[in-house]
Amino acid sequence: MRVLITGGAGFIGAHVTRTLADAGHDVSVLDCLHPAAHRTDSHVADVDGVPVRHGDVRDAATVDAALAGVDAVVHQAAMVGMGVDLADLPDYVSCNDLGTAVLLAAMARHRIPRLVLASSMVVYGEGAYTCAEHGPARPAARELADLAVGQFEPRCPRCARPLEPGVVDEDDRLDPRSVYAATKLAQEHLTAAWARESGATAIALRYHNVYGPGMPRDTPYSGVAAIFRSALERGDAPQVYEDGCQRRDFVHVTDVAAANLAALNALDADRAPGLRAYNIASGDPRTVADMAATLATAMHGPAPVITGAFRAGDVRHVVATPRRASDELGFTAQVPFTTGLAEFATAPLRA
């Protein structure tokens, strides 16, 4: 299959490019080499021999040229992370949502009927919770006054008691709580509308906390694993926010690339038009403090420091079941938590 990968020279995109090429697909890459992801390598010519077309998905003429002869698109291009402050808002909306809209309009013109979209677990906002008295509950955003005194667990909206975290599936309520999260959900909505109106098939892969070789480092857009590793390389203790007990699912980038291949293969089958979402997670959730301690041990560095600091846009627990991806795509993450972090301790990062 001839496949265009947008953002195919980035952290996740480069791994997807290699995986699809190794599987025998005829792969091409379109990447604007955005400085948030490419600070010192803004002249990337290829990814392991796959040429990189330098261009922006927001430019219709560039996208039209990149789509010539293409059978499917894997859309990785996006600004990621929490960003610096609200001054980033226009860039997030432009790169993520306008870029997706331009791409989808071009795919409709070229009658390209298959799309794999890189989405994110951030579309859920807070994860699933249960109140001991009132049962399942979806909390409101945490109050700054609670965070300031170390009350980090979300409260029941009916009785204000702390809630017990659970597991979300793809049909849970979507409640984005940051600018980035809002743009990722908008990408899903735009893709669903395109698929319905054009009779196309699309898969949204809701990545959980991706880490691994090639992560960008020393940037506000880096993931927490890269931030902790940079601190340890300086000889500093990782600074863990809140009480460190917030739960996430850390999934290795090679597993994420394998999920993209599985999704692409599923689109090549007899599949009904529309968009279907899948959680891409390891199924082995850990606390942020556990991740920091495991990485510190692997790097023979100082133990993490639990700071009690917080960011207003952060959510407390986001843990999801990967069962649908296993049942329908045949995808199951293969890299164990400790093995992946031991490799990550010495893996090359993106400067």
The residues annotated with a catalytic role in the active site are 180
Beta strands in the chain (DSSP E): 2-6, 26-31, 46-47, 50-54, 72-75, 114-120, 129-131, 135-137, 164-165, 201-207, 209-211, 239-240, 247-248, 250-252, 274-280, 286-287, 305-306
3 state DSSP class of 66: helix
76 touches 27 (CB < 8 A): no
Supply φ then ψ for residue 240, to 5 degrees: -100, 125
Q: How far apart are CA 170 and CA 278, in angstroms?
A: 6
DSSP 75-124: E-----SS-SSGGGHHHHIIIIIIHHHHHHHHHHHHT--EEEEEEEGGGG
* Under 8 Å between Cβ of 134 and 159: yes
**What count of other Cβ atoms lies within 10 Å of the Cβ of residue 345?**
18
Instruction: Annotate 181-216 with b (16+ C-beta within 10 A) or e (fewer).
Output: bbbbbbbbebbbebbeebebbbbbbbbbbbbbbbbb
Q: Which burial class, exposed, middle or buried, applies to 279 when counting CB atoms under 10 A from its CB (0-12, 13-18, 19+)? A: buried
